[in-house]
Amino acid sequence: MGKKGKRQYKAPSKDKEYPYPSRYGSHESMVVENNEGDAWIACRDEKGPYVTSRTHLDSGLMDPYRLTTAKFRRGMVKKHYPDLIEEYDV
């Protein structure tokens, strides 16, 4: 129960608007570079650029490439879009 006079924990407000259409999926509005012949698309979210498959774009499902580790994201960007890698070096 706790001691008398102690303040209870109050969760932070969730009124802040999220800048992207969803927290887990990739959407057309997030696309940075799009090579027509390539199966990979460069997108950007709050963590920086990442590369995802065309099939994950606007699918309504979670995008596993968006939720990967920073090391994997950096490697994929370096492999498919080396010109975007400079954003990680900031």
Average pLDDT over residues 6-16: 73
Q: What confidence tens digit (pLDDT) does each residue in 39-79 have?
A: 899 999 988 899 999 999 999 999 999 999 999 999 999 99
Residue 31 contacts residue 41 (beta carbons within 8 Å): yes
R_g of the chain computed on alpha carbons: 18
Q: What are phi and psi for residue 81, nearest 5 degrees?
A: -135, 75
Average pLDDT in the 3-26 region? 78
Domain positions in the chain: 28-87
CA distances from 27 to 4, 23, 42, 46, 73 (A): 49, 10, 11, 13, 17
pLDDT at 1: 57
